[in-house]
Structure 1
Amino acid sequence: MRVTLAQKKHEIGEKEKNLKIIEKTAEEEKDTDLLIFPEMFLTGYCLRDRLWYDSEKIPGLSSREISRAAVENETNIICGMPERVKTDGRLRNTALLATSDGELHRYRKTYLPNFGPFQDKRYFQADDDIPVFETPVGKIGMLICYDIFFPELAKTMAQKGVEIIAVISASPSTTRTYFEKVITTRAIETTSYLFYSNLVGREENMYFWGGATAISPKGEIIGKGKYFEEDLVKSEIELDALSNARRNRPVLNDTRKEIMNADRLIS
């Protein structure tokens, strides 16, 4: 199975241009089975009050176009975007998963940073669902940026049988050292493949460092992107290797579910 992390420069507020980048990359990388773009790649991250105008429902115009690109190129595409939710009219920071068989799935960011340069809580509503999706290329879970610092999310996905965890991110250069440490930890403790796709380039006063990373269930770096430059990080993986990794280090099998109750842990 081939996985490609698309470390492409985007244009803030230029949804149509960014959509064309997604479509072109999918066409050029037809040999990949899973193509992963970063957090908010469709619109850019620092949109602030423009977020509402560039947000879309799912399914919507952009998600349908991404789905079409996935089907036509026989691949699966993950991309970050602002989602407008019909039920409550609020926005979510969403990871869209368009599969090669025409399905649309989504994960909505659980933990919203609201410190330093981050103002997610001002614009987005947090979500509580932690899904794992059955896809043509395996069981996929998704996390968005700050989510990675909360191990219960990845652990929950692992308990649901996740095989691949895609982490999409808009991490500026000041946070690089934190992310490079924690993503490897999450791969090891869940014995899952983990793919980290981060924005690259500049938005206002934020410099995104790129550094897309592919990590094996044993914590080995099997693919690494350049810093502050465009790149395509391609990895070949075998899902059969998961059973070997989980047999050698049976952290999932040995997990005591009876002590994972939140009330018990904080009492």
Structure 2
Amino acid sequence: MKVAIGQITPKTGDKEYNCKKMKEQVIKAAKGGASLVVFPELALTGYNCGDDFFRVAETLPGESTSYFESLAKAYDIHIIYGLPEHGLTDVLYNAAALVGPEGFIGSWRKNTLPGHATDLTGPGAFPDRRFFKNGSGLEVYETSIGRIGLLICYDIFYPELARLITLKGADFIVGISGSPSFEKDIFEPIVKVRAMENTIDFVFTNLVGTEGDTTYWGGGCIIAAGDAKRKVPGTPEICKASYDKEEITIGELDIHNKKIRSFFPVLRDLTSDMYENLKKAHDHLV
């Protein structure tokens, strides 16, 4: 199966512009033989909307899912993209939607909301905690291209969440982010670790370029933990997007190849004691 990473620079609050840009990349992905194209966190609106998040947020399913459903059907492709979601009146979530040729399949809500600085040298902070409520579900959706689980940006920092999706039976994990440039050296290795510690394929995409005062580091990649068809022998990285430009990057996965689990048996060696002890330690945090 071919998977496309759709790396874009969104125009803040301009859904029509961003949808047009994503449409162009959907077409490129489909022409490249991809069965799935993955766009970054908040790709529909950008990350710097401020109070306009309340104006541009949508219900799921909603306006944009209808738009992408028609594209998915026309080009026989699955599409994942990030957007702000309306829950209850004026309750927002940082979310992602999945549509396919058969229509709307499902959605995810970001579980962990960052409140730390967006720049190590400045006072700014990610807007998540100001505007969004944290989600709690991590569904794994059965599709014609496999069982898909998803994490949104800061969620990827938590090994417990990727492990949960793996144990729920995902064939591969998708991670979408809007990570600024100062996080690159912190974030980049974590993606590979999440794949290898769960012996599961991981598709990662990030915003790129500059949106307002924020510059993103791009660098999307596909990590195929169990696939022998590797771009560089001895590494699990199938493909890598650039750090500084919008583009479609396509890699090939064999999601049914889990041979790595027979000689790297991290899932076999898990014990319930690990989780029970973790819970006990967490309950005693001061």
* TM-score band, normalised by shorter chain: over 0.9
Contact map agreement 1:100 1:136 (CA 8 A) in 2: no
Residue 164 of structure 1 aligns with which residue? 172
Unaligned runs of 5+ residues in structure 1 are none
Residue 280 of structure 2 aligns with which residue? 264
Task: Give the percent of matched residue pairs that are identical in Structure 1 and Structure 2.
Answer: 34
Match of 2:268 among 241, 253, 260: 253
Distance 2:112 2:222 in 1: 23
Q: How far off is 1:19 after superposition?
A: 1.0
Q: Provide TM-score, normalisation by structure 2.
A: 0.89
Work out whether 1:99 is the aligned partner of 2:100.
Answer: yes
Match of 1:79 among 75, 78, 81: 81
Q: How far off is 1:240 after superposition?
A: 2.4
Report Cα offsets for 1:163-183 as digits up to 9, x if no partner: 111110001100000111100
Q: How far off is 1:192 after superposition?
A: 0.9
Unaligned runs of 5+ residues in structure 2 are 118-124, 227-234
Work out whether 1:148 is the aligned partner of 2:122.
Answer: no
Matched to 1:47, the amino acid is C
Residue 37 of structure 2 aligns with which residue? 35
Contact map agreement 2:105 2:141 (CA 8 A) in 1: no
Corresponding residue SS for 1:142: strand
Distance 2:240 2:134 in 1: 30
Contact map agreement 1:158 1:252 (CA 8 A) in 2: no
Report Cα offsets for 1:187-233 as digits up to 9, x if no partner: 00111111110001112211011111111115611111111112221
Distance 2:23 2:268 in 1: 40
Residue 173 of structure 1 aligns with which residue? 181
Distance 1:257 1:64 in 2: 43
Q: How far off is 1:24 after superposition?
A: 2.5
Distance 1:149 1:29 in 2: 28
Residue 256 of structure 2 aligns with which residue? 240
Q: Provide TM-score, normalisation by structure 1.
A: 0.95
Distance 1:207 1:9 in 2: 10
RMSD: 1.5
Q: How many residues align?
A: 265
Distance 1:264 1:100 in 2: 45
Report Cα offsets for 1:44-97 as digits up to 9, x if no partner: 0011111000000011111111122112211110100000013x6410000111
Q: Which runs of structure 2 are paired with 1:117-136 in the superposition (5 Å)?
A: 117-136=125-144
Residue 228 of structure 1 aligns with which residue? 244
Corresponding residue SS for 1:103: strand
Distance 1:174 1:61 in 2: 34
Distance 1:89 1:136 in 2: 35
Matched to 1:80, the amino acid is G
Contact map agreement 1:55 1:91 (CA 8 A) in 2: yes
**How has the CA–CA distance of structure 1 residues 133 and 257 changed in structure 2, closer, same or farther, with 3 Å as cutoff?**
farther
